[in-house]
Amino acid sequence: MSIILAIESSCDETSVAVCNNGKITANVIANQTIHENYGGVIPELASRVHQQNIVPVIQQALTDAKVNKKELNAVAFTRGPGLLGSLLVGVSFAKSFALALDLPLIAVNHMHAHILAHFIDDPKPSFPFLCLTVSGGHTQIVL
């Protein structure tokens, strides 16, 4: 059995999921409404709000999944691309959390995750496939 805590903080949402043997058992997202006043995401504000949100979001995800942190087998985190300050909050927390619990870390490319998320429910994905990803400044067509 493998239970993974996954942390995503590449832009303005703090998102944490718990995956148990490949099944998502919790997914908590904290949105940042503060940016509405500015017409776009302000990177410095985003990183500060991530700092406020990360612990409560992780606690809620573990509670929702009915998992104790000592039951975790690994910690996954978004390593990029994304806003540097936002990424640093997620990466720093993931590394500290994993170190404290002696867990392995899994670095995840944000854009690869967008593409491969389509296969969460498909046990046998068929290749090749064409995918258009549009995410902030990272737009690409992938075959």
pLDDT in tens, 31-85: 888 888 888 888 898 999 999 999 999 999 999 999 999 999 999 999 999 999 9
Q: Which fold has domain 3-113?
A: Nucleotidyltransferase; domain 5 (3.30.420)
Please answer whether residues 32 and 74 qualify as being in contact, where contact means their C-beta atoms are separated by less than 8 angstroms.
no
> For the chain, what are the domain ranges?
3-113
Report whether 136 contacts 11 (CB < 8 A): yes
Which residue is it, tokens 């949402």? 13
pTM score of the predicted model: 0.89
**pLDDT band at residue 123 under the 50/70/90 scheme:** low
